[in-house]
Structure 1
Amino acid sequence: MTLAEIPRPATAQDAGETSVAAVLDRLTTALSEERALRAEDIGGSTFAEFAARFGLSDPEALAVALLAGAELDRDFAALAGGSAEATGLPIGALLARLPALGWDSFLPTAVLRSWALISMAESGRRTDRRAFLDPRCLDWCLGHAGPDAALLPYLRPPGPAAMLTAPAAAEIGPAADRLAEAAETAGRALTLITGSDGPTRQRLASDLAASLGCDTLSIDPGLLRLAPQERQAVLRRLARETVLDRVLPVFDLPRIDAGLGEALARIEGTALLTAPALDAPEALPPGCDQITLAPPGAPERAALWAAALELDDSAALAPLAEAFALGADDIARAATGLAHVPPEARPAAAWAATRRLCAPPPDPLFTAITPRATLADLILPAATEAALRALLAQVRHRATVYRAWGFAARSSRGLGVSALFSGPSGTGKTLAAEAIAGALDLPLLSVNLAQVVDKYVGETEKHLDRVFGRAERAGAVLFFDEAEALFRQRGDGESGAARFTAMTVAYLLQRLEASPATCILATNMRGAIDDAFLRRLRFAVQFAFPGAAERARLWAAAFPEAAPLGEIDIPLLATLPATGGTIRNAALGAGFRAAEAGRAIGLQDIVAALESENAKLAQPVDLGVLRRRVGR
């Protein structure tokens, strides 16, 4: 009998000739008349169903009915050879009333005892020992709902279930066939579901069970860590429950290590296992089926978003699906509460909700920045500005070009965008990275390389993996300042340090190419960057020292509208060979000096602020013209 063929239990309300009361009446009559008991006496009743589920012989099925009657009625117990004062029936009495029932039916390996359908007294002559129908089995025959009271300490509420992607749903049919075949041929079947997120694994387990006509029973994985004898007694009852109530136990394991091997091998009947990953393949019993769920790709995420937001068209959700690498459960959480939003506004509302949900937690490896700079704040040469807009276009339209137009099929690399910003300090590289993130409505994660780079082998790679994972979930733009620390020119490769650097660069290149995140690397030492690395980047944007025209615009933009300005000479200031960073710092410093003096910002304040800035610069700005102008 396959799982799908197991019938549903009868209910306590079943009446007529097949009810428990009617069966016991017929058995009472037969016993009173000293007539031989026949299979027809229990035909069509829950006793017959019970026997069919466990493969009992007719005499064994009748023995179950007699034991049930003895538990329910004193007079019936006495009539069946027992005692009105004691529960159960002596084995000798059962053998006397059922001549076809043999001693072998009461052996520990026989069905009645191996499935714990009955229990037996441990002492006394064998024929005098009493047999007892297990209370859970009696309840089932009476139509009472389960589960077994002995299992209650090990049951837990099922976790949240997520929507399934089409590839995940396609796993159900073949997996159900394999599970049913194994259960039928071997009497034992396990399926392990790994990958994706917990709610998705939970949903697949539930749908897999449903395809076999079963419900699921969520089991505390701590059961598998019990002492062997205690664990096996519970596992046996659990296996019995799968037969009684058409349920599949689901063990949601935090991890599968070698220490679980013996316990997993002892699981009886049919069960499902779920875990984030298979850490120890040797722990799986032979014949255990495996389903590995891949994280949903952008097309699957767009479909999940459309379902969660109740939108027919997923095209409008493609940018959202590309930007945030979420699982089905996170998508469902982000979409919660958006049903009241007008349909046309739901994509934007979902974007904002996802930003809130996926905001990266504090981490010493990076600083999360909420962008305030905009593209309008950048004062750059036309060629540099055009390169930044081209970078933005590739991020914004990758769903269209790669997915809808099919370019993704022609590339083995990831769909993320990587760029190198190079140029002298203060020329706007960091500000441009912030403006890029702001234009994309995404956070900026500024990577702390001092924390990321570790002297121990493998630790830098672990740190980078954490940084990329957080960025991909948050949809963030990654910013590596002073990138030459990671991507310096490789040496001859002989020293340990050179090999360490080569391994780190190789790993980061691999991560950059596989990641969907937008990654910006900045350096003021382009010559120190490995050429082989540069060729793997999508963009290389040069930030040149600003000319006089850009400097005039930078000085004019450096003072907010609310700032009180005295006599300042923008054309004169523009003649100074200063970067945008120096100009912004000088304007701010001049503001504080003027505020302290209680006056509008004047040229003398700017000169003093520039002198302070000069103390920080390797190549100070020549302030001779300005000093003479203010009489210093």
Structure 2
Amino acid sequence: MNAPAAMDWSSANQQLLAAEFARLRALLDSSDAEDERMRGAELRAAMSAPPAIDTLAQLFELSDFERDLLLLVAGVEMDARLGPLCALANGQAGRPWATFGLAMSLLPSAHWDALVPSEPLRRWRLLEVDESSGLASGRVRMDERVLHYLAGLNHLDQRLQPLLSPLPPPGLMCRAHAAVSAHACSHLQRDGARPRTILLAGDDPQGQQDVAADIARRLGVAVYCLRAVDIPATAHEQAALATLWQREAVLLGSALLIELRDDESKTLERFVERLGGLLIIASRAPIALDGEAFIVERPDVPEQRRLWREALGQRGDELAPSLDSLAGQYRLGARRIASIAARLGAELDLAELHRACRADAPSMSELAQRIEARADWDDLVLPEAQRRILQQIAVHTHHRLTVHHDWGFAEKSSRGLGIATLFWGDSGTGKTLAAEVLANTLGLVLYRIDLSAVVSKYIGETEKNLRRVFDSAEELGAILLFDEADALFGKRSEVKDSHDRYANIEVSYLLQRMESYRGLAILTTNHKAALDSAFARRLRFVVHFPFPDQVQREALWHGVFPAATPLEPLDYRKLANLSVPGGTIRNIALGAAFLAAEGGTAVGMRHLLRAAHIEAGKRDKPISDAETRGWV
């Protein structure tokens, strides 16, 4: 017989299947199958890679009988001539399909245990038997995914497509993550045939995906991602999913990455016990599972600076002096940096980069309120000592990268790198205004934390909310303003019950996050003495906002009205006799402006007197005649 002409693998695979089906037809009608067997051998020898049926038999360690049984069942679906022959052999025209009894009587080297549930054909759901007619007489069907594989089509099972997503090869990676993937591969190759599980813990989920993809690339396999929340809860469904995946892992040559978030570890543990092959589990906190564990955190500030320069290419060299602010302000992973740089292209400036970094960050709207920072230093009326401290806060925030990393302070200790600051003083003395000035000066976004949304009556929930606040704020590069902070950060109580114990844990968690927070966190309180002493030790700056004296109040009155406000002649010295802080002065000025607008006149002393009494009524603190003498 002439050797087959050279052809592509797909066409050769189809021809080999045709030859195999012809061999089975010959067996069914008691003809000589030797010619077709020889034809198959010649086709196989000429192929550039083994045919699908041979690869399948090797991957699942099938016997010759099991291999032929697969071909017989597939042939009924793919070769119209095989079905009638099976019906004839079954002795029933209405049963044109393969049965186990037919295979036992027809195929060489037959063995009864081929269809035992623990053996490959049924264990990996390559074949399924309709047992309603008995194991020997029931119709044997082939799973559609396996049928496609034999035909040369190797794609993810459609039942898994809603659950699994392929991970692309990694792009820009930080050096620490590349080192993790190299170490993990060394561990996997050293272990050989042992069960292989890699555990990745840390706060960079995209970085964990890149590490998983890089491990797969180094090992020459694909990798799919499954969210732990999508793992079914019941044992039966878990077993079915595990079987489907393990079959796919073999057919596709793929690893599995499971992404774990929050309280999904119990479901995960049961599911993982059913899995084999290369498994990578990514979580925020370390989990108690057997495997080789690695930490995958977002890159530190110097590494972020390097990633920005690499991602921006030539433009990165041009912007190099300004990239410190990007690296120091936002806590971004390598993939995020690469995405922003690619999206903006070559025509970009530093302001566009800042906007892009903020635009992609997670929302804090549920737990915090964004404050539009418009105030500047001229709006602050404070003693010179307090102004100097505020200016130092701005200096520390602006030069964090230089001092902490370039000059090595971060290497000596990771504690105390955050700029935790306390503003204390009576209400209305300018604490929030000072935070606005700092945000405006530094070009940062400012968020006021809604403590009523953060503090939860449910045990452990407050800690989760605090983590969300800090994590989101680090990505935004935000200044955090915890208003009236003593409500959450007051003196820790003695432990009397489980709620006291968890409340203390939450305060301890807050202290730890305040120390490690890379940005500026400002706490405001009216009562400095109410704060926990352990918390106070972790503050880098403490700024007292005193009640304004007569001179300061006069300056506040001079600056309270916008330039466009029509004013009658005002006696600022007499206005300063009113002993109220700056916040109250702003409220009185605003109230007077509305009174004047209603009357169609400029703002005058009479409007201010009336507004002052209205404001005093809100505070249930009447104004003395001496304070407003001579106003009208």
Work out which of the residue numbers 534, 537, 540 in structure 2 matches 1:538: 540
Aligned to 2:10: 12
Structure 2 CA distance, aligned partners of 1:111 and 1:510? 53
Q: Does 1:206 align with 2:205?
A: no
**Equivalences for 1:13-412 in 2 at 5 Å?**
13-14=11-12, 19-20=16-17, 44=45, 45-46=50-51, 47-56=53-62, 83=89, 86-88=96-98, 98=108, 107-117=116-126, 136-137=145-146, 139-148=148-157, 151=159, 156-158=164-166, 164-179=173-188, 185-186=193-194, 189-191=196-198, 193-196=200-203, 198-217=205-224, 224-225=231-232, 232=239, 235-252=242-259, 256-267=264-275, 269-270=276-277, 272=279, 274=281, 276-277=283-284, 281=288, 287-288=290-291, 290-306=293-309, 309=312, 311-313=315-317, 316-327=322-333, 337-339=343-345, 342-343=347-348, 345=349, 347-358=350-361, 360-363=363-366, 366-412=368-414
Aligned residue number for residue 556 of structure 1 = 558
Unaligned runs of 5+ in 1: 1-9
Q: CA deviation at 1:504?
A: 6.0
**Superposed CA offset, 1:258-296 (max 9, x none):** 2454443223x4253545457974xx5xx5555553344
Q: Deviations over 1:188-210 (max 9, x none)?
A: 54545554455444444333333
* 1:513-532 alignment, distance < 5 Å: 513-532=515-534
1:566 aligns to what? 568
Deviation by residue 1:387-407 (Cα, 9 ceiling, x = unmatched): 111100111110121122221
Distance in structure 2 (CA, Å) of the matches to 1:56 and 1:446: 65
Identity over aligned pairs, percent = 35
Return the alpha-carbon distance in structure 1 between the equivalents of residues 610 and 230 of structure 2.
74
- Secondary structure of 1:12's counterpart equals helix
* Residue pair 1:80, 1:93 contacting (<8 A) in 2 also: no
- Provide the secondary structure at the position in 2 that maps to 1:13: helix
Cα distance change on mapping 1:34 and 1:556 into 2, 3 Å: closer
**CA shift digits 1:460-488 (9 cap, x unpaired):** 54554444344334332222344444555
Q: Does the C-alpha gap of structure 1 residues 550 and 162 become closer, same or farther in structure 2, counting only changes over 3 Å?
A: farther
Contact 1:196 / 1:296 at 8 angstroms: preserved in 2? no
Shift of 1:417: 0.9
- One-letter amino acid of the structure 2 residue matched with residue 322 of structure 1: G
Residues 161 and 475 (structure 1 numbering): CA distance in 2 closer, same or farther, change over 3 Å? farther
Q: Structure 1 residue 383: deviation in Å?
A: 2.0
On the 8 A contact 1:421/1:520 being kept in 2, the answer is yes
Letter in 2 for 1:468: F
RMSD between aligned alpha carbons? 4.8
Matching residue of 1:3: none
Q: Name the CA shift for 1:94/1:307 in 2 (closer, same or farther; >3 Å).
A: farther
In the alignment, the residues of structure 1 paired with residue 344 and residue 311 of structure 2 have an alpha-carbon distance, to the nearest angstrom, of 9
Secondary structure (helix, strand or coil) at the match of 1:211 reads: helix
CA contact (8 A) 1:471 1:477 kept: yes
Report the secondary structure of 2:404's partner residue. helix
Residues 257 and 279 of structure 2 are in contact (CA less than 8 Å); yes or no, is this contact kept in structure 1? yes
Amino acid at match of 1:438: N
More off after superposition, 439-448 vs 526-535: 526-535
What is the aligned partner in structure 1 of residue 4 from structure 2?
A: none
Q: Answer whether contact 1:154 1:223 (CA < 8 A) is retained.
A: no
Read off the aligned partner of 2:254 and give its amino acid letter. Answer: V
3-state SS, counterpart of residue 323 of structure 2: helix
1:349 Cα offset (Å):
0.8
Matched-pair contact (CA < 8 Å) for 1:120–1:132: yes
| Alpha-carbon distance in structure 1 between the residues aligned to 2:23 and 2:500 | 90
Q: 1:623 to 1:520 in 2, by over 3 A?
A: farther
- Structure 2: give runs of 5+ residues left out of the alignment: 1-7
What one-letter code is carried by the residue in structure 1 that aligns with 2:264?
Answer: I
Alpha-carbon displacement from aligned partner over 1:473-515 (angstroms, at most 9, x marks no partner): 4332222344444555679x59889989866654433332122
8 Å Cα contact 1:161-1:329 kept in structure 2: no
Query: In the alignment, residue 266 of structure 1 is paired with which amino acid?
Result: R
CA contact (8 A) 1:335 1:353 kept: no
Go from structure 1 to structure 2 and tell me whether the alpha carbon gap of 1:625 and 1:435 turns closer, same or farther (over 3 Å shift): closer
Deviation string 1:128-153 (CA, Å, 9 cap, x unpaired) is 8987776654543442334456x467
- Asked if the contact 1:160/1:199 (under 8 Å) is kept, the reply is no
CA contact (8 A) 2:126 2:143 kept: yes
Instruction: Please say which of residues 117-126 and 597-606 is displaced more in the overlay.
Output: 117-126
Inter-CA distance 259–25: structure 2 relative to 1 (3 Å threshold): closer
Instruction: Report the TM-score, using the length of structure 2 for normalisation.
Output: 0.76
Cα distance in 2 between the residues matched to 1:75 and 1:559: 95
- Displacement of 1:415 after TM fit? 2.5
Q: Distance in 1 between matches of 2:81 and 2:596?
A: 107
Task: Indicate if the aligned counterparts of 1:257 and 1:279 stay in contact, CA closer than 8 A.
Answer: no
How far, CA to CA, are the matches of 2:580 and 2:434 in structure 1? 18
Number of equivalenced pairs: 606
Q: Distance in 2 between matches of 1:215 and 1:131?
A: 32
CA distance in 1, matches of 2:462, 2:135: 70
In the aligned structure 1, how far is the partner of 2:402 from the partner of 2:626? 55
Whole-angstrom CA distance in 2 between matches of 1:597 and 1:617:
26
1:240–1:548 CA distance, 2 compared to 1 (3 A): closer
SS in 2 for 1:171: helix
- The C-alpha deviation readout for 1:194-232, integer Å capped at 9, x for no partner, is 544554444443333333322235568688538656664
CA distance, structure 1, for counterparts of residue 435 and residue 251 of structure 2: 62
Residues 510, 564 of structure 1: alpha-carbon distance in 2 compared, 3 angstrom cutoff: same
Q: 1:600 to 1:231 in 2, by over 3 A?
A: closer
Q: Distance in 1 between matches of 2:76 and 2:496?
A: 85
